[in-house]
Structure 1
């Protein structure tokens, strides 16, 4: 009987210790998430990543990340290449103590991308994508005090209302539209993704879409300029021939 009492006392003590540890951890969850983003982000992008504040409400299964900014690669302006006022999170609270934390949805609305075109082929978006490539095909998880060996699974990722500000030495400045992006099932509930892998899974689609949009604009502008130059060099007789040929084709 005495042995049973001792065992029960030990179990109760363990439960109390675990409860205190969870309370302390969850109480500082906002700070831990902010530190993790600012620690893992630069490892992936090779640029500075900053967050204004984080607000996670596990009891409600949601959270917000405010003022997320990714700095431009070296050699470009000091404007952030990505700036997001708010990122919305919907979390599965029961998964927070499991091996894979399940995020039901990440909503990134109104992201502002600053694209810079220098010289012939230098585009800051392409430079960032090159820097984000993993050092090896199977990149091992990198854990730090701010980023423990935790893995994630995202059921749904949405980019909505993103804008692209293009500044080019040749084209000047112009605002470009971007289509929304919807992704599902990033990682799984068994293996999940490391923080670094999740960061790439989130940023890559957005940056790829932005790169395609910028290159499309540059190509369209180059073709238009070439067409104008060719037409200027044509004689009046040649222009009449071209117009006759167009009418026949029509």
Structure 2
């Protein structure tokens, strides 16, 4: 059970990291570039193919969405994807887009489908978790953060909602069957507010830590 909790936490952190990549281009209202950035940024972070059907980001309204986000698997795994999303919605405080920190009023992740594939002693999302951890270490955090030209702005995220999720487990010992469990709806508040803004990698760390208790009750029924 603890392994699955950690895995879903990693999935959520990766999702936020991917979305943060879109936020910084969103200010230029170039949807095609946002799509390219999400796919490039996500693929670099996870070392798995990331595809996005559509991005719609409006500077005027401060709202946007990512639709049809799909993250494949690292090499060595057989299932089609590690996770898929129906949609990710965002609402920004447009007055802060050119400031530091940038304030994101709301991120809503709807219908996440997580596929946890066991291959020997490893799993697909354990592998992705390690890749994301390694990627996030490229960015300074805490006291090591120094503002310099070209450095990304800090973030405050007032609300993150994750709704209507499901996790499926695939493994050789299940003989072709998949074990499934519904994920709880989750609400995280005021990420980075106390610190007056945090680096995107710190957003990941906070999300991962907050997810553990919420997910535990959902995955307990799988007996893992």
- TM-score > 0.5, shorter chain as reference: yes
**Superposed counterparts of 1:6-155, under 5 Å:** 28-77=29-78, 79-119=80-120, 121-134=121-134, 139-140=139-140, 149-155=152-158
CA-based RMSD of the aligned residues comes to 3.3
Give, in whole Å, the separation in 1 of the partners of 2:63 and 2:136: 34
3-state SS of paired residue (1:44): helix
Pair member with larger Rg: 1
1:50, CA displacement in angstroms? 2.0
RCO higher in structure (CA 8 A, sep ≥6): 2
- Shift in Å, 1:46: 2.2
Q: Name the structure 2 match of 1:192.
A: 198
- Is the 8 Å Cα contact of residues 113 and 167 (structure 2) preserved in structure 1? yes
Q: Which moved more, 1:203-212 or 1:165-174?
A: 203-212
Aligned-pair distance for 1:170? 0.9
Q: Which consecutive unaligned segments of at least 5 residues does structure 2 have? A: 1-25, 142-149
Of residues 72-81 and 82-91 in structure 1, the stretch that sits farther from structure 2 once superposed is 72-81
Aligned in 2, Cα 1:88/1:158: closer, same or farther, shift over 3 Å?
same
Q: Distance in 2 between matches of 1:123 and 1:216?
A: 19
Post-superposition Cα deviations, 1:29-50, rounded to whole Å, max 9, x if no partner, equal 3234323322322232222222
Alignment deviations for residues 192-243 of structure 1 (CA, whole Å, 9 cap, x no partner):
323x554665678669977996686254xxxxxxxxxxxxxxxxxxxxxxxx
Instruction: Specify which structure has the higher proportion of helix.
Output: 1
Distance, in Å, in 2 between the alignment partners of 1:211 and 1:127 is 20
Q: How many residues align?
A: 188
135 and 37 in structure 1: CA distance in 2 versus 1, 3 angstrom threshold:
closer
Pair 193,181 (structure 1): closer, same or farther in 2 beyond 3 Å: same
- Is contact 2:29-2:58 (8 Å) kept? no
SS of the residue 2:199 aligns to: coil
TM-aligned CA deviation for residue 150 of structure 1: 3.4
Q: Does the CA contact (< 8 Å) of 1:132 and 1:200 recur in 2?
A: no
Change (3 A) 1:124 1:161: same
- Are the structure 2 counterparts of residues 148 and 46 from structure 1 closer, same or farther at C-alpha, using a change threshold of 3 Å? farther
After superposition, the Cα gap between the structure-2 partners of 1:72 and 1:158, relative to the gap in structure 1 and judged at 3 Å, is same
**SS in structure 1 opposite 2:99?**
coil
Aligned-partner Cα distance in 2 for 1:127–1:82: 13
Change (3 A) 1:148 1:137: closer
The whole-number CA distance in structure 1 between the counterparts of 2:166 and 2:59 is 31
Q: CA deviation at 1:73?
A: 1.9
- Tell me how far apart the structure 1 counterparts of residues 206 and 54 of structure 2 sit (CA, whole Å): 22
Do the aligned partners of 1:44 and 1:200 also contact (CA within 8 Å) in 2? no
Residue in structure 2 matching 1:178, options 174, 183, 188: 183
Give the 3-state SS of the residue equivalent to 2:127 in structure 1: helix
| Runs of 5+ unmatched residues, structure 1 | 1-24, 142-146, 220-250
